[in-house]
Structure 1
Amino acid sequence: MIATKKIAARAIAVCAAGLFVHTLALATIPVQHWTQTSGAQVYLVESPAIPMLDVQIDFDAGSRRDPPEQVGLASMTADMVDKGVRASGAAPALDENALGEAWADLGAQFGAGATADRMSFSLRSLTDPALLDQAVALAARQIAEPSYPDAVWMRERQRLQAALKESYTRPASVIGRAYAKAVYGQHPYGYEMTDATLARISVADLQAAHVAGVVACRARISMVGAVTRAQADVLAARLLSRLPQVPCASLPPLPVVPEVAPLEKAQEINIPFDSAQAHVLIGQPGFKRADPDYFPLIVGNYILGGGGFVSRLTNEVREKRGLTYGVSSSFSPALNAGSFTVGLQTRPDQTAQAVKIARQVVSDFVAGGPTPAELQAAKDNLIGGFALRIDSNGKLLGNLAGMAWNDLPLDYLDTWTQQVQKVSVADIKAAFGRKLQPEKMVTVILGAAK
């Protein structure tokens, strides 16, 4: 073990210096994809210059599949993965402290988490055989055999319930909950985790959610690092080897998640709150990640409010009128339609004026689209900054996992700048006209002056 620690320490020191130097200085990024006999899909980008491997494994087991009375189940199922693994065969049980020490000894990192759409497991390890073999074996145990100790869950649940109570004192948390409920209605994207929903989650519920959601044949495995396709195939199989190897065809299909309902009319919600600044969120359901309007919408949003100081919203609300230090707009596309959101903070007595101007800017943009000069400036910035999206193995892994999750073409990264370049003023105007209805947007205001 001492020798292993020395190898890990030396290699980590080498990798830390070059971790953020992207190694694929190529005209193209060759993405390899195949399906294993288990049904798991594997995506690989070979990056041999740094002796490191980054892995992300995704399952369709995110919070959109939480029962309404147990909101938080997916997040807690994932968060408890690092609290211990059960004994299996000759492998002894490990508690959370033993797990932490084991990963520290290997100089590797393992994590688990859940978003609205997916439950994800991540592994970062050096590719030295003495380390990678042990890291993969330990990761496979955590993926398949979390122990979900009852006493630890009781402790974690109390901690989360206390954190929830504290969050009700933070304006960003309060307005975020109200906004999600107003935009998504009864859709799972709008569910709110509360003290009551956490209280209804037992260890048996965590175990059942893990068994139902973490299924080998439904895995999407993304890898970036110094491994070949043959090595990656073996590693992927080993990472899933402790899960039941059941064909997906023999399993009941996952329940269909309903689409996000469009808003029927405008709504303004005012929340009293003792705050030095009024917080404002304006928006509506947006679009799915698979929508063909994706590129016109992201380029257009850069012009509207995503481009920082060069955006229209910043120019009109901040620069011309001094109503805020910062205002922005964003889309959050997902498997279902994520939100389009304009966010700003302003002095309470200026709230009405700031809201009026922000709404007008959005309405004018949807009606008229950008100018040719605005479009060219946006393209220059987006294309010029593309290299920063993939300048480390970690960033490249995030892009690769997004491709895998959303079934994007394998040349997606190679053609990204071309897709941006070919967007026209007419494309943006048409796409925004199809997706946004300014006259029906919800406005949530917290802490405005009476």
Structure 2
Amino acid sequence: MRNIPLCLITALLFISTSYAELIDKTKTASIEQFSSLSQLTSLQNIQEHSKLTAPHVYELKNRFHVRSLFVESPSLPMVDIQLTFNAGSARDQSIGMNLYGLSNMASQLLDEGTDHYSAQEIISTFESVGAKFSVSAHRDMFIVKLRTLSDPAKLEPALDMLLEVLNYSTFKNSSIDLVLSNTAVGQKQLKENPSRMKNIVFYRTLYGKHPYAEPITGTQASIKRINPENLVQFRQKYLVRQNLNIAITGQLKEKEALKLVEKIAKHLPEGEKATPLPAPALRSDFNIRHIPYKSSQAHIIMGEIATTRDDPDYLALQVANRIFGTGGFNSILSQELRVKRGLTYGAYSSFSFMQAAGPFSLGYSTEQDNLLESLKIAHRALVNFIREPINEKLLQQTKLGMLRAFPNNYSSNAAINAQLGSIGFYGLPTDYLNRYSDELNQLTTAQVQNAIRKHLHPDRLTIIIFSEKLDKAALNQILQDNLNTYKNKERSKTSTPSNANELYHLPKEEAPLPDSFQHDTPALISDNDL
């Protein structure tokens, strides 16, 4: 020991002491961590406590008769305001022929200048009070959002500027030219992205002349036809009081929220409510469309026109879709295409519920050599899912997963306000969020199966395929064989339904598709490209 330097001995003592302290701290932290577990609510009890967490929604009755919903959220000094107009891209043609993309362009240019303020002054006003302003167009909706501090000194100037923009936007030619120049870049990217192109072709093929047929952002040719007068006419016709519902969430009292509603409604022109959209025409047979596309992968989307958001079968169809195509790798579609056969990296299915009947679709990509085999498997999976009974245990698992995930829909002020916007726009009851758990729990296998068989038809699908080549005759035969095989099974009564005995275990933590937004991806494409 006499030969060991004093500095080394000191260092060793320091290290040993620090290590001992670290062990003690780790033990203490572990004890605290495990003791805190008892305070957590078990996921198994989420059904019992879900009602306690759903926010209370106030219906704000106002003298202007604008449907207005409010949730008080005192934890943050913030206010979220959403104005939802019945003015999506489905209304573009009502202003003039071949003006696809009109509502989307209005959403992009709304804050680009008014009669009294330049674009920079508008931006500076919002920034000076810490407010966030945004506008977006969908097929059904035109949405204006404002997030600001609840302090009246911040909220009032932000709201005044929002109303200024809504009432007096000028839509100058210089701003339109900027949108057109940006389009060229998006057009090039689109042609290199078959996943986006197939959605556009799918909607066009499915809806024909219906207002839902064209992409939200229009086409290269259509947006070149749009002028400032068209945009002003769109604003004057659709961004009006009678075509609006209001959602407010934040640190306000009910009377304060009502005051905001009255101010917004008062300072918008009264106008008229948009007329109902026409019902789309339904097919009675297969419609196969092949788009030659040179790639190592083939891209497929198939589906049909299904139903509207206000359909009583809405919740049953959401459950069905989660079982079939949105339950992760363990959904039926992914199991058949990926897990069992390795034909794709991922497959999905979805319903788009809108004012007029929206589509059901399923899609995936696969190697060119596997194209026909994958189509056979995907279509057969859909046929079996529609016609065979749903496993009771599978249904209960699915419902439990959806119940556990539903609080994500009101986990933040923004999420709550988006739900309020959807509830108001589609005319849902004020207590929708509170009733959700009970209605989901009460769903039976018979109800889900009846909804599937009512709205899904494996013999009348529109099928869009981007690939180098396609043997259409062979594909038609495959589709007919799938239909005939099941008919023969029904006659013989000797088959055992695969869905009845095979249980797919869905991930319990996955959230259902949000109810608030329409998930069509805007994209541009020329009128003659496809």
| TM-score, with structure 2 as normaliser | 0.76
Give yes or no for contact 1:351–1:448 (8 Å, CA) kept in 2.
Answer: no
Of 57, 60, 76, the match for 1:31: 57
The match for 1:373 is 393
CA distance in 1 between partners of 2:52 and 2:401 (Å): 21
CA apart distance, 1:132: 0.9
Give yes or no for contact 2:307–2:359 (8 Å, CA) kept in 1.
Answer: yes
CA distance in 2 between partners of 1:313 and 1:162 (Å): 35
The residue correspondences of 1:212-251 to structure 2 (distance < 5 A) are 212-244=237-269, 246=270, 251=272
CA distance in 2 between partners of 1:179 and 1:131 (Å): 46
The match for 1:50 is 76
1:379 is paired with a residue whose SS is helix
Give yes or no for contact 1:303–1:370 (8 Å, CA) kept in 2.
Answer: no
CA distance in 2 between partners of 1:159 and 1:194 (Å): 13
CA apart distance, 1:185: 1.7
CA apart distance, 1:109: 0.5
The match for 2:90 is 64
Deviations 1:210-261 (A, max 9, x none): 00001113320001111111111111232344322x3x6xx5x634421011
Give yes or no for contact 1:136–1:238 (8 Å, CA) kept in 2.
Answer: no
The match for 1:445 is 465
CA distance in 1 between partners of 2:443 and 2:274 (Å): 36
CA distance in 1 between partners of 2:390 and 2:51 (Å): 34
CA distance in 1 between partners of 2:384 and 2:201 (Å): 26
CA apart distance, 1:443: 1.0
Give yes or no for contact 1:144–1:240 (8 Å, CA) kept in 2.
Answer: no
Deviations 1:170-219 (A, max 9, x none): 21222111111121121111124211111111110000000000111332
2:348 is paired with a residue whose SS is strand
Query: Which stretches in structure 2 are left out of the alignment for 5+ residues?
Result: 1-49, 471-530
CA distance in 2 between partners of 1:39 and 1:156 (Å): 36
1:85 is paired with a residue whose SS is coil
The match for 1:257 is 277
Report the CA distance shift for 1:40/1:161 in structure 2 as closer, same or farther (over 3 A).
farther
Report the CA distance shift for 1:429/1:448 in structure 2 as closer, same or farther (over 3 A).
farther
CA distance in 2 between partners of 1:25 and 1:284 (Å): 35
The residue correspondences of 1:94-109 to structure 2 (distance < 5 A) are 94-109=117-132
- Match of 1:71, as an amino acid? Y
1:172 is paired with a residue whose SS is helix
Of 164, 171, 184, the match for 1:148: 171
Give yes or no for contact 1:137–1:238 (8 Å, CA) kept in 2.
Answer: no
CA apart distance, 1:158: 2.8
Report the CA distance shift for 1:154/1:74 in structure 2 as closer, same or farther (over 3 A).
same
- Match of 1:339, as an amino acid? P
CA apart distance, 1:306: 1.5
1:188 is paired with a residue whose SS is coil
Paired residues, number: 416
CA apart distance, 1:34: 2.9
Deviates more, 1:76-85 or 1:164-173: 164-173
Deviations 1:396-421 (A, max 9, x none): 11111111111111111011111111
CA distance in 1 between partners of 2:85 and 2:61 (Å): 15
Q: Is 1:361 the counterpart of 2:381 in the alignment?
A: yes
The match for 2:422 is 402
Of 71, 78, 83, the match for 2:107: 78
Deviates more, 1:229-238 or 1:390-399: 229-238
CA distance in 1 between partners of 2:263 and 2:170 (Å): 20
Q: Which has the larger radius of gyration?
A: 2
The match for 2:344 is 324
CA apart distance, 1:163: 2.2
- Match of 1:72, as an amino acid? G
2:148 is paired with a residue whose SS is strand
Q: Is 1:176 the counterpart of 2:202 in the alignment?
A: no
2:98 is paired with a residue whose SS is helix
CA distance in 2 between partners of 1:355 and 1:172 (Å): 17
Give yes or no for contact 1:56–1:121 (8 Å, CA) kept in 2.
Answer: yes
Q: Is 1:119 the counterpart of 2:145 in the alignment?
A: no
CA apart distance, 1:45: 0.7
Give yes or no for contact 2:131–2:158 (8 Å, CA) kept in 1.
Answer: yes
Give yes or no for contact 2:238–2:274 (8 Å, CA) kept in 1.
Answer: no
CA distance in 1 between partners of 2:362 and 2:468 (Å): 17
The match for 1:311 is 331
CA distance in 2 between partners of 1:412 and 1:435 (Å): 23
The match for 2:363 is 343
Deviations 1:308-330 (A, max 9, x none): 12211111111100101100111
Give yes or no for contact 2:140–2:354 (8 Å, CA) kept in 1.
Answer: yes
- Match of 2:86, as an amino acid? D
Deviates more, 1:230-239 or 1:293-302: 230-239
The match for 1:420 is 440
CA apart distance, 1:25: 9.4
CA apart distance, 1:155: 1.9
Q: Is 1:278 the counterpart of 2:298 in the alignment?
A: yes
The match for 2:23 is none
Q: Is 1:333 the counterpart of 2:353 in the alignment?
A: yes
- Match of 1:32, as an amino acid? Y
CA distance in 2 between partners of 1:211 and 1:430 (Å): 44
2:443 is paired with a residue whose SS is coil
2:342 is paired with a residue whose SS is coil
Q: Is 1:132 the counterpart of 2:155 in the alignment?
A: yes
Deviates more, 1:27-36 or 1:265-274: 27-36
Give yes or no for contact 2:324–2:385 (8 Å, CA) kept in 1.
Answer: yes
CA distance in 2 between partners of 1:174 and 1:388 (Å): 31
CA distance in 2 between partners of 1:154 and 1:82 (Å): 15
CA apart distance, 1:77: 1.3
Deviates more, 1:259-268 or 1:220-229: 259-268
Give yes or no for contact 2:317–2:451 (8 Å, CA) kept in 1.
Answer: yes
Give yes or no for contact 2:64–2:266 (8 Å, CA) kept in 1.
Answer: no
CA distance in 2 between partners of 1:275 and 1:397 (Å): 42
The match for 1:186 is 209
CA distance in 2 between partners of 1:277 and 1:374 (Å): 33
The match for 2:180 is 157
Give yes or no for contact 1:140–1:240 (8 Å, CA) kept in 2.
Answer: no
The match for 1:4 is none
